[in-house]
Amino acid sequence: MAKIGITCYPTVGGSGVIATELGKLLSEKGHEIHFITSQVPFRLNRVYPNIYFHEVEVSNYPVFQHPPYDLSLASKMAEVINREKLDILHVHYAMPHAICAILAKQMCNREVKIITTLHGTDITVLGIDPGLKQMIKFGIEQSDQVTAVSRSLVEQTRDRLDTNKEMEVIYNFVDEREYYRKDNEELKKDYCIKPEEKVIIHVSNFRKVKRVPDVIRSFAEIKKEVPAKLLLVGDGPEYAFCYQLVEDLGLEEDVLFLGKQENVSDLLSISDLKILLSEKESFGLVLLEAMACGVPCIGTNIGGIPEVIDHGETGYITELGNIAQISELAIQLLNNPALLETFANQSKQVVREKFESATIVRQYEELYERVLANE
């Protein structure tokens, strides 16, 4: 069994979710897990006997114009590697975590192995920033092993950072004990949704790249043909604009802004269709969460989305911003109960076959074993 350090962003967000769920499942298999993060990861919501948390405290010394999170993190990593005798430090999100890990490795006196998992915006947004690109490339190339959450992200990393570093694709997963379809008809009533109304759901952090206005405009078209409600889950910079758009389109009665929610599987369990129309998306963990709850998805032909949704099998892949195409496909599907059920069942099956948590966790373990064997 290995002693594994994990660093991630502990707040709500796909990369933090995957890092935390991976740590939990590895601990259940007997590995000793040490989270080195700025606060307790939000999914670490109870005591786990094999999991330890080491808080990165950022100094606010008055001379510092900016609190040095990166250096505090590197220093804490080195301290934990030495004291806990870590074999592996697995960091999620390259910037700054991979760079901090390399620095920590130089500071400590153990041959710890550094594994970096790329999640998306660390490459697709920060990796093209000229001020950061070289640093991210350095973090990736100096890591002992690099993984990415989709083939598309590997290609984009090669392309944008101009690197030949070997990268392995390990897909994301969901905890099947939490993400499954529950019988939640009461919840539908609580939201005053009529039994005949279809429920469409969108979950995101409402950043510009998620193109939530496209979701609202598509819904406006769908609503003309199908009695339906739209659940908007999450919060972020575009929230106020979306609220205004819903008012301008006269959809206040039919669009429910639910804000950030912890128990998304309950909401997915009353949903008929999930829509994610991003312009950047390395994977789309929210799609997998939906599929696990038997919700077919419509997503854009962007990044890793086509690796998650099988067009015509579990949902549809559409062109970015093509509202007519998106709404037409949604209307066809929602008006065809037999097809909807087939897509729902196939979605659950794909989650079981291609993204099963046990298989994915095993892939990470095999990677750790290979890296440790190469000492």
Where on the chain is the footprint of ligand GMT (CB under 6 A)? 13-15, 18, 93, 119-121, 124, 149, 172, 205, 207, 209, 280-285
Least distance between ligand GMT and beta carbon 49 (Å): 27
Using CA atoms, how far apart are residues 90 and 161, in angstroms rounded to an integer?
21
Contacts of residue 301, Cβ cutoff 8 Å, sequence gap at least 6: 317, 318, 319, 320
Nearer to ligand GMT, 205 or 318 (CB): 205
Closer residue to ligand GMT, CB minimum distance, 220 or 292? 292
Residue 207 or 354: which CB sits closer to ligand GMT? 207
CB contact burial 3-32 (16+ within 10 A = b; e otherwise): bbbbbbbbeebbbbbbbbbbbbbbbeeebb
Shortest Å distance, C-beta 304 to ligand GMT: 7
Toward ligand GMT, which CB reaches closer, 12 or 339? 12
**Of 124 and 271, which CB lies nearer to ligand GMT in the complex structure?**
124
What's the closest the beta carbon of residue 253 comes to ligand GMT, in angstroms? 29
Minimum CB distance to ligand GMT smaller for 226 or for 291? 291
Nearest to 165 by CA among 188, 142, 182: 142
Query: Would you say the C-alpha torsion 228, 232, 238, 242 has a positive or negative sign?
Result: positive
Contacts of 196 (CB under 8 A, 6+ apart): 227
Give the nearer residue to ligand GMT in terms of CB position, either 182 or 207.
207
The sign of the dihedral angle between the CA atoms of 333, 338, 342, 345 is positive
User: What is the smallest separation between the CB atom of 108 and ligand GMT, expressed in angstroms?
Assistant: 27
Please give the DSSP secondary-structure letter assigned to residue 175. Answer: -
CA angle 34, 363, 90 (to 5 degrees): 30
Q: At its nearest, how many Å lie between ligand GMT and the CB of residue 136?
A: 14
Tell me the DSSP string of 207-244: -GGG-HHHHHHHHHHHHHHS-EEEEEE---TTHHHHHH
Q: Which of 295, 292, 285 is nearest to 334 (CA)?
A: 295
Nearest approach, Cβ of 176 to ligand GMT (angstroms)?
17
Q: How far is the CB of 120 from ligand GMT (least distance, A)?
A: 2
